[in-house]
């Protein structure tokens, strides 16, 4: 992390860890660097994208970090991925869909109903849900686009990310 900070051609840097497992490493790199480094503690790729949209190139790192932090306060995230292994509690088997809202498992089983359950949870109280389909998503974007609950705008994109069938964010 520190090598990446030092390799960046800037004196001020905003770091978006995009994982709860990387936040501490990013904060430590910020402490050790001679550059001005501010960490916005994004816990997912989806939150990182929302934060990146708030970036104002003419502002300094502190102002950008404040704007990015404010942007992610109002975002809820979710995801659906194939299970890497059988669940110890017997809920799902390796390869089946597992749906998350935040860090909580909220649905599992076949891909389509699992995605619908995650989408419904995220859409509740939201006006906009953004969905980014992964490289191996088992349901076509055209079909996913029709899953939005009434009154919720669903923006769908093909992200091509490995490991996650769908990444979602709600505002």
The DSSP code for 1 is -
How many domains are there within the chain? 2
**Mean of pLDDT values over 137-143:** 94
Note whether 117 and 140 are same-domain residues.
Answer: yes
What percentage of the chain carries pLDDT values higher than 70?
100
Mean pLDDT of the chain: 95
Strands 76-82 and 166-170: antiparallel
Note whether 60 and 80 are same-domain residues.
Answer: no
What CATH number is attached to the domain comprising 159? 3.30.1180
**Mean of pLDDT values over 56-83:** 96
Q: Grade residue 71 by pLDDT with cuts at 50, 70 and 90.
A: very high
Instruction: Give the separation between CA 159 and CA 161, rounded to whole angstroms.
Output: 5
Tell me which of 26, 41, 72 is where a domain ends: 72
Note whether 40 and 115 are same-domain residues.
Answer: no
Please say if the pLDDT value at position 65 is more than 90: yes
Q: Grade residue 169 by pLDDT with cuts at 50, 70 and 90.
A: very high
**Mean of pLDDT values over 20-40:** 96
Q: What is the pLDDT of residue 149?
A: 87
R_g over Cα of the chain: 18
Note whether 68 and 94 are same-domain residues.
Answer: no
Note whether 62 and 140 are same-domain residues.
Answer: no
CB 38: neighbour CB atoms within 10 A?
20
Reported for 17-25, long-range contacts at CB under 8 A and 24+ positions apart, including other chains, are 17/41, 17/42, 17/43, 17/48, 18/42, 18/43, 18/44, 18/45, 18/47, 18/48, 19/43, 19/44, 20/103, 25/1
**What strands, in cross-sheet order, belong to the sheet with 97-101?**
104-109, 97-101, 76-82, 166-170, 128-133, 153-158
Note whether 61 and 124 are same-domain residues.
Answer: no
Instruction: Give the separation between CA 53 and CA 148, rounded to whole angstroms.
Output: 23
Tell me which of 16, 43, 72 is where a domain ends: 72
Please say if the pLDDT value at position 160 is more than 90: yes
Note whether 96 and 154 are same-domain residues.
Answer: yes
Note whether 94 and 63 are same-domain residues.
Answer: no
Q: Are the beta carbons of 107 and 113 closer than 8 angstroms?
A: yes
**Mean of pLDDT values over 36-43:** 96
Note whether 67 and 88 are same-domain residues.
Answer: no
Place of tokens 């490995």: 162
Q: What is the pLDDT of residue 106?
A: 97
Note whether 101 and 48 are same-domain residues.
Answer: no
Q: Grade residue 62 by pLDDT with cuts at 50, 70 and 90.
A: very high
Please say if the pLDDT value at position 60 is more than 90: yes
Give pTM, 2 decimals.
Answer: 0.88
**Mean of pLDDT values over 50-68:** 96
Domain that holds residue 146: 76-170
């Amino acid at each position: 992390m520190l090598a990446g900070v030092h390799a960046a051609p800037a004196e001020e840097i905003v770091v978006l860890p995009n994982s709860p497992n990387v936040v501490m490493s990013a904060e430590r790199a910020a402490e050790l660097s001679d550059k001005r480094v501010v960490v916005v503690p994004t816990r997912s790729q989806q939150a990182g994208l929302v934060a990146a949209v708030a970036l104002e190139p003419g502002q300094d790192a502190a102002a950008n970090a404040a704007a990015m932090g404010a942007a992610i306060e109002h975002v809820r995230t979710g995801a659906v991925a194939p299970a890497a292994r059988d669940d110890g509690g017997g809920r799902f088997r390796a390869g089946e869909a597992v749906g998350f809202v935040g860090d909580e498992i909220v649905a599992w089983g076949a891909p389509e109903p699992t995605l619908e359950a995650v989408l419904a949870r995220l859409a509740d109280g939201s006006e906009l849900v953004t969905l980014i389909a992964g490289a191996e998503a088992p349901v076509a974007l055209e079909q996913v686009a029709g899953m939005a609950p009434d009154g919720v705008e669903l923006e769908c994109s093909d992200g091509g990310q490995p490991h996650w069938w769908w990444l979602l964010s709600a505002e």
